[in-house]
Chains A and B, each alone.
Chain A
Amino acid sequence: MKRIAILAVAFALVLAACNGNSDATTTVPSGTDDTPPPAAMGDLLQTVIDRGSVICGVNEAVPGFGYTDADGNFSGFDIDYCRAVAAAVFGDAEAVTYRALTAQQRFTALQSGEIDVLIRNTTFTASRDGREGATFLTTTFYDGQGMMVRSDSGITSIDDMANLSVCVLSGTTTELNLAARFGDTPFTPLTFDNNDQLQAAFVAGQCDGWTSDKSQLAGVRTNFPESEGGPEALTILDETFSKEPLGPVVADGDSQWAQVVNWVVLATIQGEEWGLTSANVKDYDGDNNEIRRFLGLEVTTDEGTAVFDPGLGLPTDFAVQVISQVGNYGEIFDRNVGPSTPLGLQRGFNAQWTDGGLLYAPPYR
């Protein structure tokens, strides 16, 4: 009995101590102005170069985006962007150390510095940008949340789904959007902490709907086994009920590293706009000065002949390395998620601005 009393008191003390901390800090107005800059300000690029590899936080279970096979080989759209960063920094696309992360762990890993960059189908939201200490960079994939149901269920819209059950992965924006979409309509949300168990529950009919990013749903649908009716047995509803811009994320506080990763993404987009592919980028010998600047080739102007260096901290030929070793945006897209892959996705929003899409790289000058 005495033991229990001691315990209770001890625990109360710990809680009180934590609250004390909060008092101490909340007196500082908003707490952000006075926060000391992280010690490693601007050092991450050097740290990465010294280490010899980029530590990239990725998904391991979404085919097409981030997936590992039994031998530990990573592949996918997001993985290719990790490789692009390594190609830009080291000239070697293989200089990547992958860290497979769960949805819950990704921001902790970023905040604690366990990873250099997070490329794990992560949605750009304001509170993540603000509250999670993360900096979101150029979106690599414009996705939207959808709902997948069985074709024979007769459901044609989310409004038909009152009182039904919906499977959702916990710790994702999907979960929040789902709650918001249903509002006051009663439904049963079934939250799982990994896709594998969720998939089993969906196949067993425990949930009537499965909500996730449409690209992921498309992947599941294509792979749906013939024994269960094949892809035809599933329907992805037309409604897209959220914007899901996915892109690389770095930790707050190191703008140089942020711009390095950002320009790697932009280089793939710019490369496609100019028709530079992994096959032809090394052979470029044209006289378009814009492209010559972009590829780090000598540019002759009135002031003489020089190689353009925008001062990003990257080698001047980084775009050549990225495009020759990994490819331009279109190549990365087609290789991992495009029409010829099991996912079979169309470009949609993810087309160049010249084709009516949202991909638009700022001028490289």
Chain B
Amino acid sequence: MTGTEISTGTRSPLWRNVRVIRVALQVMAVVVVFGAIWILGTNLRDELIAKNLPTGFDFLNQPTGVTIADSSFKPSSPVWAALIAGMKNTFALTIVGIPLVTILGTLIGVARLSTNWLVAKAAAVYVETIRNIPPLLIILFVFNVVILPLPAPNDPATPLDWFVISNLKIVGPGFTSSPGAGILLIIVILALVAAVIVGRWRTRYSDQTGEHHHRMLWGLGVFAAIVLVGYVVTGRPVAFSLPVLEGRVITGGFGGLGSYFAVLAALVIYTASHVAEIIRGSILAVPRGQTEAANAIALTGFQRLRFVILPQAFRFALPPMINQYLNFTKNTSLAIAIGFAEITLVTFQLIGNGFPAPQLILLLMGAYLLFTLTISLIANVINRRLQLVTNR
């Protein structure tokens, strides 16, 4: 298009002037798009007014009247608090699910390339089966066929006395915290920072002197020492706790609703099949010469994978992996089918109880955008760090 901008001395007429056309086209685009938004928007507003429905967001402060399982949410709390409670549940699925998906997916992806015929075939069957089944169906299956047949909550299983398992709730060992816990958390974060600094220093030291850095050992040592001292100083605010069953109330321990585990397990199983394909593709994308070079310096199979192949493969894998993380986050919305109260279900509940749908759906979309944009942001930072490593 720039090729037509050759100056010919004579001025071309207005309608053939490329600059004019460009400006006109853009103005047209703006007018069309915003005009359409404006028309649809006023339409929406008029319809809402005509139907005597609220047009603004004032309803966010009204009490909902609904309850949400396994949360401190009260029926008298306002709508926005219900949405926050829903987002917390979505977050609880995402934060646990993404690491699990990464681990399981990587294992299966590596297994698909195993020299062991049986292992490779088993992984291949897993991937080819699971990734061609709708995730919603897997969620329904896990919930109905795995979780619901567990013992009913009035007679839960208590294996080893460490777990309390029923189809309503699954609780395992966890920690209980007392007031000093907040300070300890800050200390842990500081210890983490200190450990990273020490690790950096060891790396530099190693670069300069050529001695082995032992940065993991140093880092962990510093971290453990600081945390231990902090733990004692703050008066042991965190204690290991086992779930205790009194009647129907489970105290202590760490766990969640059966429907939470159903969604988590189903989505991890589903997404891992996609991650496995990405990992496999990325490993195959590492040039053969790298393997040969690793063999030439007599690395063992594990060392080759750990130090040569996987680091490079992860770099290829990261962008599509981010996509899978986003898919995982978005698929948590399917929990609505089995009644786990994440943000979509809460929105659905609110719409059903007479709060205006258009506004709520807009907020729901905003909530998901917040999640996906945050993940993209974090992933982009990591991606850039990885790129830097290769350029060095």
Contacts and interface: CB of A to CB of B under 8 A. Distances in A.
Nearest to A201: B148
Contact of A104 (B49, B259, B348, B362): B348
Interface in A178-212: 178-180, 182, 188-193, 197-198, 200-201, 204-208
Contacts of A193: 336-337, 339, 345, 348
Interface stretch (B60-68, B180-188, B201-209, B294-302): B60-68
Contact of B149 (A191, A198, A204): A204
A18 B153 contact: no
B102 interface: no
B45 interface: yes
A11 B369 contact: yes
Contacts, number: 163
A35 B66 CA distance: 31
Contact of A23 (B41, B51, B56): B56
B51 A133 contact: yes
A163 B247 contact: yes
B45 to A, nearest CB: 5
A207 B56 CA distance: 37
Interface in A98-148: 103-104, 107-108, 111-112, 127-128, 130-133
Contact of A171 (B57, B154, B352, B359): B352
A153 B69 CA distance: 21
A25 interface: yes
Interface residues of B, number: 55
A191 B68 CA distance: 8
Contacts of B49: 25, 31, 35
Interface stretch (A1-9, A81-89, A264-272, A292-300): A1-9
Contact of B349 (A11, A170, A201, A251): A170
Contacts of B154: 153, 205, 208
A26 to B, nearest CB: 6
Interface stretch (B310-318, B325-333, B373-381): B373-381
B67 A179 contact: yes
A21 B339 contact: no
B153 A130 contact: no
Contact of B353 (A176, A178, A180): A176
Contacts of A204: 148-149, 152, 167
A22 B58 contact: yes
Contact of B352 (A24, A104, A127, A163): A104
A22 B59 CA distance: 11
Nearest to A165: B168
Interface in B37-65: 37, 41, 45, 47, 49-58, 65
B304 to A, nearest CB: 35
B52 A131 contact: yes
A110 to B, nearest CB: 9
A17 interface: yes
A13 to B, nearest CB: 10
B348 to A, nearest CB: 6
Nearest to A171: B352
B258 interface: yes
Nearest to B336: A193
A18 B339 contact: no
A340 to B, nearest CB: 34
B385 to A, nearest CB: 14
Contacts of B336: 193
B289 interface: no
7 contacts: A18-B57, A132-B53, A153-B154, A164-B248, A170-B349, A171-B348, A206-B153
Interface of A: 1, 4, 7-8, 11, 14-15, 17-19, 21-26, 31-32, 35-36, 38, 103-104, 107-108, 111-112, 127-128, 130-133, 153, 163-165, 170-172, 175-176, 178-180, 182, 188-193, 197-198, 200-201, 204-208, 251-253
The 8 closest A-B pairs by CB, nearest first: A171-B352, A22-B56, A205-B152, A133-B51, A204-B148, A179-B75, A104-B352, A176-B65
